[in-house]
Amino acid sequence: MIIILKAGVTETDAQTLLAQIESKGLKPLYMPGVERTVLGAIGDERVLQSLNLDGNPIVDEIKPILSKYKLVSRELNPIDTHVMLGNHAVGGDTFTVIAGPCGVESREQLLGVAQMLGKHGIAALRGGAFKPRTSPYSFQGLGVEGLKLLKQANQATGLPTVSEVIDASDVELMADYIDCFQIGARNAQNYRLLEAVGEQQKPVLLKRGMSSTVEELLLAAEYIVNAGNPNVILCERGIRTFETATRNTLDLNAVAYLKRKTHLPVLVDPSHGTGVRELIAPLSYAAAAVGADGIIVESHLNPCEALSDGHQALDAQQFAALMTGLRPFVHAAGKKL
């Protein structure tokens, strides 16, 4: 860790701090400069938290050298993690496609779309039973009824199911019905929820928050793994920027960056990442090309009747076209589809 002192700090004050650093087992360094003095602390700087350097009045700025995450870091664990959805290994040789409606609306809707999607060989079926909505007057999901329909869809098609969990107290209940927990962008820093899914072993699809840095996303994953569950799938779904032509700005830089920094698999959500139906296919191709392990897309047999996010759902024909269009890019990336 590099500690930049304020201009005018005396050597005596600096030495006091250096002694504290040494007392924590780190090697202290004193670097008096022309305009200001810089201190160094060599070793596992994470133990310096207890020194509260952050609040020390002689400290101007702290520059950490090491990343704050450990368990999810590729430096410490270079082997790609495979997270199993049924028989499908997310992060393996086969490009993962997860699809389904934004929200579970009825038995007919869910089974209909599940059967259509199943024919395309998708890895898992997505569908929200609990929907976090910006307005209290919007459709909030079917709740437990939706979970039961997901279970039925799983039994009918064999597809593992993914559904969003929005509260720690729902984790146990949901575990009876679904195969993978999704943490949505709005809950990306709901730490109680992260810990709750960390205390069980089912896979967790962790979406990046709308304004989360990639480091914050990795630290959110670190919460889950640290709590005991190594089965984390990261998901880039667009960040919030000044651009209004698209719903969010899909950050594929982040995908390439994450693949280098972590051993966890990384998916891309082009449906929320663009919010525009026509842009879903090209951004799915780009996701495959940039090195993502798969995509998660919204699909609905009749988008025009969807109770939420209909504008970004693909119908049967559009989904088939997506899969056809996607294949050559997945192959170019050296993966199977």
Q: In angstroms, rounded to a whole number, what is the distance separating the alpha carbons of residues 227 and 277? A: 38
Q: Which stretch binds a second copy (CB under 8 A): 81-89, 115-123, 174-182, 243-251?
A: 243-251
In 10 A of CB 138, how many CB atoms?
12
Nearer to a second copy, 104 or 159 (CB): 104
Question: Which tokens in the block code for residue 87?
Answer: 């028989």
Window 213 to 232, contacts with a second copy (CB under 8 A): 213-216, 219, 222-223, 226-227
Candidates 91-99, 106-114, 155-163, 166-174; binding stretch for a second copy (CB under 8 A): 166-174
Q: Strands, DSSP E only, in 19-127? A: 27-32, 37-42, 59-63, 83-85, 88-90, 96-100, 124-126
- Among residues 122, 166, 205, 234, the one that binds a second copy under rule CB under 8 A: 166
Mask for 188-217, x = binds a second copy (CB under 8 A): -xxxxx---------------xxx-xxxx-
**Residue 80 binds to a second copy (criterion: CB under 8 A):** no
Residues 19-78 that bind a second copy (CB under 8 A): 29, 31-36, 38, 40, 42-44, 46, 49, 52, 54-57, 59, 63, 65-66, 68-69, 75
Q: Is 145 in the site for a second copy (CB under 8 A)?
A: no
Retrieve residue 66's tokens. 């090491």
Q: Does 242 bind a second copy (CB under 8 A)?
A: yes
Answer for the pair 194, 222: CB distance below 8 angstroms, yes or no: no
3-state secondary structure of 221: helix
Measured CA to CA, the distance from residue 246 to residue 235 in angstroms comes to 18
Query: Which of 20, 157, 161, 187 touches a second copy (CB under 8 A)?
Result: 187
Interface residue with a second copy among 12, 78, 87, 137 (CB under 8 A) is: 137
Tell me whether residue 124 or residue 283 sits nearer to a second copy (CB atom).
283
At closest approach, how far in Å is the CB of 24 from a second copy? 14
Q: Tell how strand 232-236 and strand 266-268 pair up.
A: parallel
Annotate 306-323 with b (16+ C-beta within 10 A) or e (fewer).
Answer: bbbbbebbbbbebbeebb
Decide: is 303 part of the binding site for a second copy (CB under 8 A): yes
- Site map (CB under 8 A) of a second copy, residues 256-295, x = contact: xx-xx------------xx-x-xx--xx-xxxxxxx----
Cα(235)–Cα(238) distance, integer angstroms: 9
The site that binds a second copy (CB under 8 A) totals a number of residues, namely 110
What is the β-pairing status of strands 83-85 and 88-90?
Answer: antiparallel
276: region left, alpha or beta (phi > 0 left; psi from -120 to 50 alpha):
beta
Restricting to residues 84-123, which ones interact with a second copy according to CB under 8 A? none
**Contact between 82 and 89 (Cβ < 8 Å):** yes
Q: Which stretch binds a second copy (CB under 8 A): 92-100, 111-119, 143-151, 238-246?
A: 238-246
Question: Is residue 258 within 8 Å of residue 226, measured between CB atoms?
Answer: no
* C-beta of 85 vs 237, nearer to a second copy: 237
- Give 176 or 243: the residue with its C-beta nearer to a second copy: 243
CA distance 264 to 293: 10
Smallest distance from the beta carbon of 283 to a second copy, in angstroms? 6
**For a second copy, which residue of 84, 156, 246, 320 counts as binding (CB under 8 A)?**
246
Q: Cβ of 248: how many Cβ atoms within 10 Å?
A: 18
Give the rounded distance of the alpha carbon of 163 from its chain centre.
Answer: 14
Give the one residue of 306, 314, 323, 337 binding a second copy; rule: CB under 8 A. Answer: 306
- Residue 134 touches a second copy, criterion: CB under 8 A: yes
Name the one range near a second copy by CB under 8 A: 84-92, 145-153, 154-162, 165-173. Answer: 165-173
